[in-house]
Amino acid sequence: MPISEQSFHALVILNLLFVTGAWCLARPSLPAAAVLTVVAVLWSRFNGPIEGRVLVSFNVAHGVTESDLLSIVAVVIAVVALWRVRRSR
């Protein structure tokens, strides 16, 4: 059974999120943190087909889902990477 185009794109962005997160952890740098932050924003915008349950609901149409937590973790990793780069200088 083929998957939808939106699901495929969401899975590609999810893989990019994991790869850039690993890159940022392995070799912290400004470019790695910047790319990870951009991919985290993309993930929060295009994760619709595989969002999961709503954890916090702001109103009927908006809330925080399980997959949105990955964007938060990615931004935290990017901030830690920037802190590590700054500390090493």
Question: If we measure between CA atoms, which residue out of 58, 21, 48 comes closest to residue 36?
Answer: 21
User: What would the mean pLDDT of 14-43 be, rounded to a whole number?
Assistant: 96
Rounded CA separation 9/21 (Å): 18
Q: How sure is the predictor about 27, in pLDDT bands with cuts at 50, 70 and 90?
A: very high
- pLDDT for 3 equals 85
- Rounded to the nearest integer, the mean pLDDT of the chain is 93
* DSSP state, residue 3: P
Q: What's the predicted TM-score (pTM) here?
A: 0.88
φ and ψ at residue 7, rounded to 5 degrees:
-65, -40
30-66: per-residue pLDDT in tens?
999 999 999 999 999 999 888 888 899 888 878 888 8
Rounded CA separation 88/29 (Å): 11
Domain of 15? 5-88
Q: Please count the structural domains in the chain.
A: 1
Report which residue type is found at 18: F
HSE (side-chain half, CA atoms, 13 Å) at 10: 18
